[in-house]
Chain A
Amino acid sequence: MLVKYLLATIVAGLLAGILLTPAMYVRVVPLILHAEEYENAGGHEHSHDTAAATTAESAPAAVAPHAHEEEEAGPELPFGRLGNTLLINLVAGAGFALVTGAAALILGRKITLQNGIYWGLAGFFIFNFAPAFSLAPELPAMPAPDLAARQAWWLVTVFLTAGGVYLLVLREEVWAKVLGVALIVAPHVYGAPEAEDLSSPVPPTLASEFAVSTLATNLFFWVVLGTALGWAIQHYAASELDA
């Protein structure tokens, strides 16, 4: 087990997760909070779970603030909104760093300070850009089809795009590059699940601002993560890899 390598990737992930938090608070979180005002004011059937859906449907508009309080007192961890987000970003950063580090290790490639940004851009393309191309980042209260169907589409798209990027970038053969492009395009030709009723209580301007700001924020996260991975692996795991 290459313990130093593992620890170096986790360090890079935690660093990127810390820096992601203030970046999210520049645009993304204010837009989520803004959208939640419409979520709670409108009677749109937005369901965290079936119980909440029933409350929203049966309750007249006057009771909406009460439903809001209930949602706030949900079973989340008790560190407050900012604390929870910071905690999850740390964990998520480590998760994405571990997956990226594992991919490089399987492929026999070394992530360095110089090429780290390319690993980051690949991660951004695979995990954020490609899924968002057909399944735009959603604000709370936006119309959305079945959650499980969207999650399945998201997962398949991430896997196909990862395979496609590998074939396109790291293989020399012409057939591999053609297949790579096909894998990347396929989920978008197939199409993401779409909501039947597109009417939404959230103003479209908020939604478009949100889609762009999340992509920009995630691009920042991945550039930091890729560069940090290169730096951490070179600094802490070089002896292990060159042994």
Chain B
Amino acid sequence: MLYREAGDFKTSYVADSQTFPIKFDRYRYYAVLIIGFAFIPFVINDYWVNAIFLPFLIYSIAAIGLNILTGYCGQVSLGTGGFMAVGAYACYKLMTAFPEVSILIHVLLAGGITAGVGVLFGLPSLRIKGFYLAVATLAAQFFLVWLFNRVPWFYNYSASGQINAPERTMFGVPVTGPETAAWAAYLFCLVLTVFCALIARNLTRGMMGRKWMAIRDMDIAAEIIGVNPLMAKLSAFAVSSFFVGVAGALFFAVYLGAVEVGEAFGITKSFLVLFMVIIGGLGSIFGSFAGAAFLVLLPVVLKLVGVDLLGWPTDLVAHLQLIIVGALIVLFLIVEPHGLAQLWRVAKEKLRLWPFPH
């Protein structure tokens, strides 16, 4: 009954090829946008924004980035943490060198710089693939973290090697620094997340995305039908790194405010984003959001239930959390290898036929 095309007539090709061709789906999407932009900013407080919404939005961007590379183009990457660090340090250097330029421009430029670095580390992908490429990107992860720890120029020669985000404003409202209001940080990240998701969605639907998927499905066949693997792979690395860089910049400037590279952008971050992509669903933009929401919300929910509701000791809950998250990852890989996005797809199919399944 729900999610049906019946009665939803398209009179143009544009209408037919829009992102959400089913009316019900489209209205649901508008409803989510209206709630996100017009409702949540008025009710949000510091706890909600810092514990749930900022990590969710920022990890969503990172997951979209990795999904483009791994899910759409089939190039396994373990360098996400390192690329996020590039975004963060690029943003920091830009923020401190050009304080009068808008922070939005700095974040986007940081994404651009990360794209350049991503292309550089994507070059080996032309010769190696699979596990071997994963190891090459792992090298990028360790090299980049080492670089930002080793060269004092990147952290402006501060005594501790920490970088701290100074206060920067958008339209006179601070969006970085300690005086930032919850709604301002939230809206800033939300705008960038929606922007990134729209771009990613449309890129993957267009010629570029089809080339990536052709490379993913069978690179030799793709080459024979005229896809240039050099361009396809490097563009995937560039676009992916752009998103990951934007996520890293926001992670540092808006969310944490102070960052230590080894701790914030270590190998665990690469794995976390990879888990998000796998649990959410490879090759799906919605899956990136679902995976990010799952891995951000789950620990918070477990903590709320375990510590605040049941009054269990904090260490017990922290250990249980590790067990539950690990078990769920294994469970997902066995039961639904295509992730939450596939569950959502199946649910939609079921809802179409409901309440009269064949």
Real binding pair: no
